[in-house]
Amino acid sequence: MFGLNGDDSVRFLYLGVLLVILIGSIGLGRSRSAAKFRHLGVWVLLAAALIVLYTYREPALRFAAPVMRQLAPSRVAEVTTSEGARELVIARSDDGHFHIDAMANSAAVRFLVDTGASTTVLTQADAARAGIDVASLAFNQPVQTANGVAFYASAFLDTLTIGPDRLASVPVGVMPAQAMDTSLLGMNTINRFSGWRVEGDSMVLVP
């Protein structure tokens, strides 16, 4: 069902080229003059194997996709279904939640996906890194938190990039310092996608 995007394909091929260079350099470095032709044959075979690998890269990448998602669960993987549709897939983290590495304006922010939150909320530190002038914000909107009532400020992100998809003019709340230690991805952002679902240990966003 799943494949990887073009960037993953380039990385996959790049790793293969590095492997060929490493094996070839070890072989040639240890060879005598009479054995160099044998090693040249090995290089030719490895080059042919790379061509075959690139030719059949799509099924190979589909096989590798689940492994790569487990190695970096908060990374958003763009996949292609058997029907040719694009989907964004996030693997469940060890803590049982879904986390997303996104770009808030030009700042890298790790969000905890919270489908029970109506609004996407940034910590004050993440908001400042995203270029929001937190000193000018009015923290006058009450919200119930696990530690009691807190007051947050309303703001906007110019862009919020999730995987290859960029959302414009995203309204967010900004929590005061010490009130929250993790930014939350709420339903006002999730609903900007045409659909979403949870399948086992994967969350799927449909652009």
Q: Model confidence at 3, in pLDDT bands (50, 70, 90)?
A: very low
> How far apart are the C-alpha atoms of 24 and 131, rounded to whole Å?
48
Angstrom CA distances, 82 to 3, 53, 54, 59, 92, stand at: 9, 20, 20, 11, 22
Q: Domain total for the chain?
A: 2
> Which tokens in the block code for residue 91?
């693997």
Q: Is residue 78 part of a domain?
A: no
Q: What global pTM score does this model have?
A: 0.65
The pLDDT value recorded for residue 33 is 54
Tokens 């194997």 correspond to 49
Domain boundaries, position 45: 6-66
* CATH number of the domain enclosing 151: 2.40.70.10
Backbone angles phi, psi at 77, to 5 degrees: -100, 125
91 with 61, same domain?
no
Q: Is residue 79 part of a domain?
A: no
22 with 112, same domain?
no
Nearest to 90, CA basis, from 196, 171, 184: 196
93 with 182, same domain?
yes
**pLDDT tens profile 41-94:** 666 677 767 676 656 555 554 555 555 455 555 578 888 888 888 999 999 988
Residue 184: other Cβ atoms inside 10 A: 20
Does the pLDDT value for residue 2 go beyond 50?
no
98 with 151, same domain?
yes
Contact status, residue 80 vs residue 59, Cβ threshold 8 Å:
no
Q: Is residue 55 part of a domain?
A: yes
